[in-house]
């Protein structure tokens, strides 16, 4: 059994107060007979990886953490820390070194810059936005997870709902989602400004999790925010985003440039290799296992083994 070295810390305030960085250690050079070869000292700074406060992000954090740990890097995974409002400043301050981000939301919610459906162009904007803070944006993963709004199939049948604009048919429209939804341009703000919907009430729940599922099934809300990789949950209908509210949302690691400089290209190459293996279909399958429920660290380990990224 692999020995676990990562702390599992839940709660934004707790983590914000308790994150501690390990001391830095410099690398050495190994001198050969004719050339000097740089050797990475993997006993240096502990790489603090932090995940957002929902299951998919925890799985992604575990995937990267275990891959790095298997290659000898010192890693600490802070699990389900909180929203972007907590993780972005922690990343910029050096309290956190690595966050598995979503390219569109990272740009818009993090910097107030408009993303687009073009993932590469959105990544370029995110690179420029993070550069002054000493944060690098690495390669995009093929996997993408967008926001989507869902309703029960019973309500869809009753009112003839198939697309987001159809929510105008709902009287006294009650929306459910994570607490930050009312301030997010791709959540409540977008429904109001892009779709012109009138939302009578917002209920703070979670991001496509059990609270939202229960509220939908119990008739407490009319529509709830879900992720496109969570649509296996229950018998809901994802409404078509007919006015194109949601941008590209590929998974993308954002990493402290100081950490990348300390450990060199081997670390960057490893992270990019892991990202390249993560597809949307695999993310859906892993989320389904998480809701079974299975532990994120077990799911991540299986993914890495199946994709030849670590030994079994």
Listed by start position, the domains of the chain span 12-144+248-306, 147-238
- The dihedral over CA atoms of 208, 184, 60, 250, expressed in degrees to the nearest 10, equals 110
Same fold, 12-144+248-306 and 147-238: yes
Least confident of 21-35, 127-141, 293-307: 21-35
Mean pLDDT of the region 255-274: 98
Strands 174-177 and 223-227: parallel
**Nearest C-alpha neighbor of 274 from the set 85, 83, 63:** 63
Mean pLDDT of the chain: 88
* pLDDT top residue among 29 and 275: 275
Least confident of 22-31, 230-239, 278-287: 22-31
Residue 40: band (very low, low, confident or very high) from pLDDT cuts 50, 70, 90 = low
Structure confidence at residue 43 (pLDDT): 80
Residues 116 and 247 sit within 8 Å (Cβ to Cβ): yes
Measured in degrees and rounded to the nearest 5, phi and psi for residue 3 equal -70, 135
Q: Which two tokens stand for residue 247?
A: 């941008």
Mean pLDDT of the region 111-131: 96
How many other CB atoms are found less than 10 A from the CB of residue 18?
12
Structure confidence at residue 42 (pLDDT): 83
Burial of 183 (0-12, 13-18, 19+ CB in 10 A): exposed
Mean pLDDT of the region 222-248: 93
% of the chain at pLDDT higher than 90: 80
* pLDDT top residue among 56 and 29: 56
Choose the CATH number for 147-238 among 1.20.1250.20, 3.40.190.120, 3.40.47.10, 3.90.1710.10. Answer: 3.40.190.120
Domain 12-144+248-306 fold is D-Maltodextrin-Binding Protein; domain 2 (3.40.190)
Mean pLDDT of the region 209-233: 94
Residues 254 and 140 sit within 8 Å (Cβ to Cβ): no
């Amino acid at each position: 059994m692999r020995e676990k070295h990562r702390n599992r810390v839940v709660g934004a305030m707790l983590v914000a107060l308790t994150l501690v960085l390990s001391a830095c250690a410099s690398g050495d050079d190994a001198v050969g007979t004719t050339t000097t070869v740089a050797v990475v000292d993997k006993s240096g700074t502990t790489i603090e990886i932090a995940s957002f406060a929902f299951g998919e992000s925890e799985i992604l954090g575990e995937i990267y953490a275990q891959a790095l740990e298997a290659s000898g890097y010192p890693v600490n995974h802070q699990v389900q820390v909180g929203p972007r409002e907590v993780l972005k400043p922690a990343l910029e301050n050096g309290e956190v070194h690595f966050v598995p981000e979503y390219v569109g939301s990272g740009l818009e919610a993090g910097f107030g810059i408009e993303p687009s459906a073009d993932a590469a162009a959105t990544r370029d904007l995110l690179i420029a936005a993070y550069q002054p803070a000493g944060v690098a944006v690495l390669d995009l993963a093929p996997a993408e997870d967008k926001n989507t709004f869902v309703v029960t199939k019973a309500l869809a049948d009753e009112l003839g709902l198939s697309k987001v604009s159809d929510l105008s048919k709902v009287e006294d429209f009650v929306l459910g989602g994570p607490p930050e939804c009312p301030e997010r341009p791709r959540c409540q703000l977008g429904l109001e400004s892009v779709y012109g919907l009138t939302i009578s009430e917002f209920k703070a729940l979670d991001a496509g999790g059990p609270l939202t599922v229960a509220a939908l099934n119990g008739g407490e809300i009319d529509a709830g925010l879900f992720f496109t990789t969570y649509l296996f949950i229950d018998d809901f209908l994802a409404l078509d985003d007919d006015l194109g509210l949601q941008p590209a949302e590929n998974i993308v690691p954002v990493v402290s440039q100081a950490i990348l400089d300390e450990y060199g290209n081997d670390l960057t190459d490893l992270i990019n290799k892991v990202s390249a293996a993560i597809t949307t279909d695999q993310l859906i399958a892993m989320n389904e296992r998480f809701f079974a429920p299975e532990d994120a660290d077990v799911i991540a380990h299986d993914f890495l083994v199946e994709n030849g990224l670590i030994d079994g």
